[in-house]
Structure 1
Amino acid sequence: MSKAEVRLLGLTLFLGAVILIALLVLSTIFGTTAIPVSEALKAVVLGLGLAEGDMSPLHRIVFELRLPRALFAAVIGAGLGVVGVVLQTTTRNDLADPFLFGLSSGAAAGAVFVITVTGDILGFWTLPLAAFSGGLIASGIVLALVHSLRTSAPEKLILAGLAVSFLFSAITNYLIFAGDSRAAHSVIFWMLGGLGLARWETFPLVCAGLLLVLTYVLYCNRSLDALLTGDLTATTLGVPVRKLRLRMFFVAALTTAMFVCVAGAIGFVGLMVPHIARGIVGPLHRHLVPTAAIVGAVLLTGSDILSRLLLAPQELPVGIVTTSIGSVFVFVLLFRTAKAR
């Protein structure tokens, strides 16, 4: 890594961190009731047990609702950005994202089954566990299909993911139609993505997802760089292409399930972030992965703030905001590709 590249990466991460901290503060103090920064800081100090005193209702709003929500947005955005990098590299598809492979559809089916049929039989953890299980089942079916075909070709992986996505979407729609109509609002909000389930109890889960994908992708960064040159060249360089592709898909699926089970189907983050990050630091994964993480965190945290601003005091599902931004992004991407030809 040259000195210029080190400086560029360092400057990118520093500016991204500054923007992210500013957005986290804004997300914490902004809401139906505006809270001064001094009171927000006091709530954090009291909540962490760094000072003695009783927490007022205002302080509880900050520490138990707004702060975890802001941190969830940052962690999940970072994780989805890195997962998007993995999937776009392993499938060689610039439009690949975590929700192209049936992961969100499986998680949605699990969550909707709980909302419309069983109810919270396990208490608070019922919905996250059901969504997590649905996401893993969907990814397991995709991997089983690919294994039965005895290939890990990118196009086969994408087709298997699309087939599973359509299957679980049909199951979800059936459950919505046949279930309790009074639960429709909860179902729609969850399917469109939201951070309303952000609680300290589930924060370790999303942190584990981010740590898993970051650690494994950085560990395999040279193998992923080799994939950029094509399967044949990567094989001659000693990379086990088929095993690497399947392992990466499994890690991406497991990580996405961890995120989806608490935040729903937040689309387009994993599609947009890799393109933005590559435009800043290039395609090599040692630089690309941390940049994608910080860009994803900024994007989802900012989108969450917008979701609370646009129809205040009513809250939009954050997936509507990211999908709107993502559709414009894809149009721009397509026009740029057409001009480049």
Structure 2
Amino acid sequence: MPNLPLALTQGDPAGIGPDISISAWLRRAELGLQPFLYIGDPVALAARARMIGVDVPIREATAETAWDLFDTALPVFSVPIGAEIEAGRPHVASARSTISAIETAVALCLAGKAAATVTNPIAKSVLYEAGFGFPGHTEFLADLASKATGNPCRPVMMLAGPKLRTIPVTIHIPLKDVASTLTEDLIIETCRVADHDLRTRFGMAQPRLAVAGLNPHAGEDGAIGLEDRDLIEPAISMLRAEGINAFGPLSADTMFHDEARARYDVAICMYHDQALIPAKALGFDDSVNITLGLPFIRTSPDHGTAFGLAGQGIARETSLVAALRIASELAGHAAGSPR
């Protein structure tokens, strides 16, 4: 099997994506990182390197040449912005380049030219201004994969850190809409994808899925809301009948201490903050966003664009390094050999 680089997108070029990508490359030997191909504007990347005061040799590259270049230069697949971008000041002029970088990374993965896609953070408001029609990265990636393969994708977001993995069943919707959005089928499909990918990509023979309740105390048998009894419990029963080791619904306030976490491999949560608050509290700097349910591996740092830090040389690359490492590990597992 040829040596395949990871495809690393630039994210919003006004954010810290360029900063942390440069920092990760500078520490490549120390950290033993698998070579990555930065997909974005080489001019903007070079300008950011000068701004943060580091000397980085940048070479335009392809997926075929990136591996050999990586030791001596940061390889860049050029996706020009066509405008000057100021660090910390997002501008709609960069939106097309940001979107094109994501499209390129996915195309390389689906063509077997890149081992995985690792995405730097985007600013959705900037993309919306340019007509971007998706709630976020995850939905866009699923649409690209579906169009390329002709098969529908059911993307599932998993936050993974050294101490905890969590999956939100509903994601970027208002809290007031969660109860009406939740369905038995949605819970079942999310758990099926989680079980499948934990088996095939993480090598778990029988993943343990701890399913959180929606209401306080998991509804107390209908005394504090009916969703736990009428939606979540039947979904879990169906999953168990299929041979999936799901259990609950569990009261979310007792799911995340040390002893409780030892009893499961992933926590299935009913809404965004129920999943992300414990994940970030237990691993803010080294948690990674992994998208399950795609025909390629995708990871991302578990933070945003941090415009206030861009160009100052103080952004921490820890989460990006974790995303690169997990992408490499998953790609190695998929290939049947360790990396």
Tell me the TM-score range normalised by the shorter chain: under 0.3
TM normalised by structure 2 equals 0.26
Greater RCO (Cα-Cα under 8 Å, separation 6 or more): 1
Instruction: Give the structure with the higher percent helix.
Output: 1
